[in-house]
């Protein structure tokens, strides 16, 4: 993979905007499912970017910042996972990008450090922001916000470009090394593959309730059956998603009818909160 200055500049701009978006815009541009295809298109492999974005999104689906604790950053991880996947010329399948996911984790931690550093620097300016607020100086408050965006975006852009060139060199080295030591890539692929399930397990730990276990087991069984049928293997996840949507709609409609019938039964309904 050969990277020119124009591609590096575009990666810097994308990382800059995504870094700000994760806290300020909240347009979900920073999510791997959106960010990775953009980086893949810049580097000349849009299809691989989509696959990496989907896989990395599963890793991050249960990760969320709580207070001052920051998880490994999805932006840097997603960018570098895409860079490694293209540099290693991995297969554009969900099972072929595990090595790239594993290699991207250290860069995701660098992104976490960049966020923590920005928060630390800006915490010293909060007293100044309080002074501006006491004077109703909206322009002063805006300047502090713009400064925080500039610091965070610049840090992410620099790390992304540095990772782009180092990832290119490391990808070439690993590709040559793996020709004689296939166990290295196999280990990285296994580690990256496990991370997707860890991310989903974290989400289930937060959201899962006892009455949902039946749906989970039913979905798992249907997926296994569909995976064994070659004609529907490629679309098994999408088909199970449609089944899940159908069940959710049926459950919503049934509960709505129950509430409406209870309210019109002539026994007071639910207007008194009982």
User: Alpha-carbon distance 49 to 32, whole Å?
Assistant: 9
What mean pLDDT is predicted for residues 195-224? 74
**How do the domains of the chain map onto residue ranges?**
5-208, 209-264
User: What is the per-residue pLDDT for 193?
Assistant: 59
**Between 263 and 77, the higher pLDDT residue:** 77
Question: How many beta carbons lie within 10 A of that of residue 153, not counting itself?
Answer: 22
Quick one: DSSP state of residue 69? B
63 pLDDT above the threshold of 70? no
For 122-135, the pLDDT digits (tens) are 888 888 888 888 88
User: What is the per-residue pLDDT for 274?
Assistant: 47
The listed range with the strongest mean pLDDT (79-93, 128-142, 260-274) is: 128-142
User: Alpha-carbon distance 98 to 93, whole Å?
Assistant: 10
Helices (H), the chain: 5-20, 32-42, 46-60, 74-87, 98-123, 126-134, 138-180, 182-207, 213-227, 236-263
222 pLDDT above the threshold of 80? yes
**Does pTM surpass 0.85?**
no
Q: Does residue 105 contact residue 77 with C-beta atoms inside 8 Å?
A: yes
14 pLDDT above the threshold of 90? yes
- Going by pLDDT thresholds of 50, 70 and 90, the confidence category of residue 3 is confident
User: What is the per-residue pLDDT for 13?
Assistant: 93
What the block records as the tokens of 272 is 């008194």
271 pLDDT above the threshold of 70? no
User: What is the per-residue pLDDT for 175?
Assistant: 56
- Going by pLDDT thresholds of 50, 70 and 90, the confidence category of residue 54 is confident
The listed range with the strongest mean pLDDT (19-33, 37-51, 177-191, 223-237) is: 37-51
As a whole number, the mean pLDDT across the chain is 78
Question: Where on the phi/psi map is residue 136: left (φ > 0), alpha (ψ -120 to 50), or beta?
Answer: left
- Going by pLDDT thresholds of 50, 70 and 90, the confidence category of residue 194 is low
- Going by pLDDT thresholds of 50, 70 and 90, the confidence category of residue 184 is low
What mean pLDDT is predicted for residues 133-162? 90
User: What is the per-residue pLDDT for 203?
Assistant: 63
User: Alpha-carbon distance 230 to 186, whole Å?
Assistant: 26
In the chain, the percentage of residues whose pLDDT exceeds 90 is: 11
In the chain, the percentage of residues whose pLDDT exceeds 70 is: 74
**Per-residue DSSP letters for 27-38?**
SSTTSHHHHHHH
Under DSSP, is residue 265 helix (H, G, I), strand (E, B) or coil?
coil
């Amino acid at each position: 993979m050969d990277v020119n200055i124009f591609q590096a500049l575009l990666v810097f701009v994308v990382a800059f905007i995504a870094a700000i978006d994760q806290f300020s815009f909240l347009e979900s541009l920073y999510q791997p499912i959106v960010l990775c295809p953009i980086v893949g298109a810049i580097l000349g492999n849009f299809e691989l970017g989509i696959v990496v974005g989907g896989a990395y999104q599963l890793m991050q689906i249960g990760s969320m910042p709580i207070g001052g604790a920051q998880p490994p950053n999805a932006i840097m991880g997603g960018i570098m996972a895409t860079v490694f996947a293209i540099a290693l010329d991995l297969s554009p399948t969900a099972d072929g990008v595990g090595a790239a996911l594993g290699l991207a984790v250290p860069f995701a931690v660098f992104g976490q450090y960049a966020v923590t550093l920005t928060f630390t620097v800006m915490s010293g300016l909060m007293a100044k922001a309080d002074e501006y607020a006491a004077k109703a100086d909206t322009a002063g408050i805006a300047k502090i916000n713009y400064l925080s965006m500039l610091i965070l975006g610049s840090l992410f852009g620099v790390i992304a470009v540095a990772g782009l060139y180092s990832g290119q060199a490391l990808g070439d080295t690993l590709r040559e090394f793996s020709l004689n030591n296939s166990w290295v890539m196999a280990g990285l692929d296994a580690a990256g593959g496990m991370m997707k399930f860890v991310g989903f397990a974290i989400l289930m730990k937060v959201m899962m309730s006892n009455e949902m276990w039946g749906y989970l087991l039913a979905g798992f069984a249907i997926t296994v059956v569909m995976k064994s049928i070659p004609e529907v293997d490629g679309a098994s996840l999408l088909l199970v998603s449609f089944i899940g949507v159908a069940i959710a709609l049926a459950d919503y409609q049934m509960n709505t009818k129950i509430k409406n019938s209870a309210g019109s039964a002539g026994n007071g309904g639910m207007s008194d909160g009982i």
